[in-house]
Amino acid sequence: MHLFRTDIFNPITTGIAGMTKLEGKVAVVTGASKGIGASIAKHLAAEGAAVVVNYASSKEGADQVVDEIISVGGKAISLRHSFAYRSSGKCCQKSRD
């Protein structure tokens, strides 16, 4: 399922109502591999942000969100990291360039 109908309107290149207020910014969205997090990641990308799609267990879902953002001209990577435990901050595993 795609958030954007690129055959009608490409929010990355034309902007949503002229909005690109996040251009040049980076957004880290936790839990972005599905559901509300995925939707937030896509909306932030549509406003011009480069998005880090964070996931704890669903690499496939995160990669799908990244592919969807990139397919309409946005910038995104996925990053595996769990924020559930304080000690988890010592290790992050980048999964895509």
Alpha helix ranges (H) inside the chain: 11-14, 35-46, 59-71
Within a domain: 41: yes
Domain membership flag for residue 6: no
- Domain count within the chain: 1
Residue 9 within any structural domain of the chain: no
Q: Rounded mean pLDDT of 29-54?
A: 94
Is pLDDT of 94 > 80? no
Asked if the structure places residue 78 within a domain, the reply is yes
Burial of residue 36, with CB atoms counted within 10 A of its CB: 0-12 exposed, 13-18 middle, 19 or more buried: exposed
Q: Which domain holds residue 72?
A: 21-84
Q: Is the pLDDT of residue 89 over 60?
A: no
Q: What average pLDDT score do residues 31-49 get?
A: 94
According to DSSP, residue 28 is labeled: E
- Is 67 contained in some domain? yes
For residue 29, give the CATH number of its domain: 3.40.50.720
pTM above 0.85, yes or no: no
